[in-house]
Amino acid sequence: QGQLVESGGGSVQAGESLRLSCAASRVTYGRYCMAWFRQAPGKEREGVATISVGGSTNYADSVKGRFTVSRDNVKNTLDLQMNNLKPEDTAMYYCAAAFTGDGNCFTGHLSNSGYDYWGQGTQVTVSS
């Protein structure tokens, strides 16, 4: 059974930056599309970014130009660099892995479906 563990959340002021990390274990990492999701109180979980094994990325419109997703296929890690944070970015952030065989993500992977493993989440709070 695969395991994903997030770290790096915290409380910051608007305009500041945070970097989230996710460590994957007990999975053949290169065969998974990796993603970050977030869920704010009272809202549905939404896709933030996906990244294929070769580095191709897809972002939600709300974070384009501010967030950067990256993965290390040797260390089996996934990162999310978040710059110019806004109060509306406040949410629990989750790392997720979807088995695709070749590690490629599709546009549909930015939706909240088709994922095999989820992390426990890390809280990000942005105050104005």
Q: What confidence score (pLDDT) does residue 107 get?
A: 84
What pLDDT, in 10s, does the model give residues 78-87?
A: 999 999 999 9
**Distance from C-alpha of 22 to C-alpha of 85, rounded to nearest angstrom:** 19
18-71 pLDDT per residue, tens: 999 999 999 999 999 999 999 999 999 999 999 999 999 999 999 999 999 999
The CA radius of gyration of the chain, in Å to the nearest whole number, is 13
How many CB atoms neighbour CB 128 within 10 A?
8
Count how many residues are written for the chain: 128
Measuring CA to CA, how many Å separate 22 from each of 69, 94, 120? 11, 9, 10
